[in-house]
Amino acid sequence: MIKENLEKVRATVPDGVTLVAVSKFHPAEMIAEAYDCGQRIFAESRENEFRQKAETLPKDIEWHFIGHLQTNKVKYVVPYATMIQSVDSERLMDEIEKQTAKIGRTSIDILLQIHVAQEETKSGFTPDEIVDLIGKNRVAERWPHLRLRGVMGMASFVDDTEQWRKEFRAIRACHKALLDGPLKAQGIGQETFSVLSYGMSSDYEVAIVEGTNMVRIGTSIFGPRVY
């Protein structure tokens, strides 16, 4: 089943768009099945589950963390994560910086999570907040271990294509505002700050039209989650 699902999804994801398989709440055996079909990038959203899976599954898996991360849990995630996509506060950036340095790792990839959805419960920086924060700090001095790779966001939990489109455009516009503004001024360009991570099972086809280059897909690969 996973094999067929994965093949179906792959057929709809164009070259140049990275497919991240969201395996949260699914057992290691299901991840192993996707792994056997060649999938190497997986994402998890809860720290303890993330750690357990990363410790037991093959070492050439590239793990992304995509859930809300509390600062006191950062130390458990940093040793295993290739990328933390859900970086949503200045405090969290400081803590990831600190823990990455502490374990002697040269750098860690992060995405800045941008809040564009209608729901208050979703986290992330507003576009103004993040442009302001990056404008006020020299990234290489304050966060020398963080590699800012791009932006991540989630559309509203509504069944409205036009709404998704509008929100995806807002994420993309924020990426551009950062590149053309405070990042350019610091010599950080499109070569490193290249990732636009938006699009999930329900809305990734719209996200692709709206220029995403990283989709995070769970349900369409692994089926519904049992919470």
Which residues of the chain form contacts with ligand PLP (CB under 6 A)? 22, 24, 45, 66-67, 154, 200-202, 216-219
Q: Min. distance of Cβ 113 from ligand PLP in angstroms?
A: 8
How far is it, in rounded angstroms, from Cα 82 to Cα 60? 11
- The helix, strand and coil proportions of the chain, stated in percent and rounded to the nearest 5, come to 45, 20, 40
Closest to ligand PLP by CB, 112 vs 183, is 112
Kindly report the number of other CB atoms within 10 A of residue 5's CB atom. Answer: 18
Residue nearest to ligand PLP (CB): 218
Q: Min. distance of Cβ 87 from ligand PLP in angstroms?
A: 12
Closest to ligand PLP by CB, 146 vs 215, is 215
Q: Are 61 and 54 in contact (CB under 8 A)?
A: yes
Q: Are 207 and 18 in contact (CB under 8 A)?
A: no
Q: How many CA atoms lie within 13 A of 51 on its CB side?
A: 9
Closest to ligand PLP by CB, 99 vs 212, is 212
Q: Min. distance of Cβ 222 from ligand PLP in angstroms?
A: 8
Closest to ligand PLP by CB, 51 vs 145, is 51
